Amino acid sequence: MSTPAAEGVVISGASRGLGAALARRFAVPGARLLLLARSAAALEEVARDCRARGAQVAVAVLDVTDAPAIAAALAAFEAGGPVGLVIANAGTSAGTAPDGTPEDAVAAARQVQVNLVGAINLVGPLLPGMRARRRGRIGLVASVAGLRGLPDFPAYCASKAGLIAWGEGLRAELGPRGVSVTVVTPGFFDSAMGARFHGRRLFLLDQADVAARVQRAVLQGRPRAAFPWPLAAGLRLLALLPPRLGDWAARRMRFRVSPES
């Protein structure tokens, strides 16, 4: 199932990685895209690629934690037609540094602000229109890390767990109103963010494959998209163990996280 051609597509974190790959997949002739990210140069490069594919592309260089700026960019885009699909993909990560230093409170709060509050800032202004039209698709890119807290990046896990819970609550409310919410929980895939995690990245996925899975799941209106399934299932089972046993097992999953460049 596709989004009506007249309705816009909004993607955050679109300057690189999964967001850029998704932007290029949605860039078909006649499509209207609004791409958001912090890096102007990288974002414009993605926009050029999308325009070459026949899409009409608007860009907004901003931080998803800036709620007024997000709302203004969305309002300007919707002046040209309603948004039929939004993917909240922007994210950041931190954790135990390569030298063993734990993440500090500032880094922890930043992850919650970007990964959870940023998604709310992006999706929130679009909800009244989707409710009124009784139509729309929402994709929330969380992570398998949100399925169980892990010791080396607890704030990242918390931000993604919050996004999962918010998305599932939103889905339960919006489903009868004709609006689908797809909560995506991917594992590790080849990206700049993924490369910053030093440890055993089990079941590493190809970024193009992840983008294809996310696009398909959102367009089909699937409630959840968790992959790779062995990793997602393992973390779900880990969360069901008695706390002491679960903590012992989680400590065997050690990672170090390089600073974001």
Just list the catalytic residues: 156
Encode burial over 115-148: b for 16+ CB neighbours within 10 A, e otherwise. Answer: bbbbbbbbbebbbeebeeeebbbbbbbbbbbbbb
- 260 domain-assigned: no
Q: Is residue 105 part of a domain?
A: yes
SS3 36: strand
DSSP lists the bridge partners of residue 198 as: 256
φ, ψ of residue 29 to 5 degrees: the values are: -55, 130
Q: What are 143's two structure tokens?
A: 């992570």
CATH number of the CATH domain containing 122: 3.40.50.720
Over the stretch 137-195, which tens digit does the pLDDT of each residue have? 999 999 999 999 888 889 999 999 999 999 999 999 999 999 999 999 998 776 666 56
> Domain span at residue 100?
8-253
Q: 235 lies in a domain?
A: yes
Least confidently predicted of 141-145, 245-249, 257-261? 257-261
The confidence score (pLDDT) of residue 1 equals: 46
pLDDT per residue over 97-127, tens digit each? 888 888 899 999 999 999 999 999 999 999 9
Q: Is position 261 within any domain?
A: no
Interatomic CA distance for residues 53 and 20, integer angstroms: 14
Distance in angstroms (rounded) separating the CA atoms of residues 30 and 51 = 10
Residue 87's DSSP bridge partners are 11, 139
Sign (positive/negative) of CA torsion 189, 102, 159, 229? positive
pTM (2 d.p.): 0.89
Number of structural domains, the chain? 1
Residue 255 amino acid letter: F
Identify the bridge partners of residue 12 per DSSP, sorted by sequence position.
Answer: 36
Does residue 258 form part of some domain? Answer: no
Q: Is residue 175 one of the residues assigned to a domain?
A: yes
- CA nearest to 119, candidates 135, 94, 140: 140
Q: Is residue 73 part of a domain?
A: yes
Residue 1 lies in a domain: no
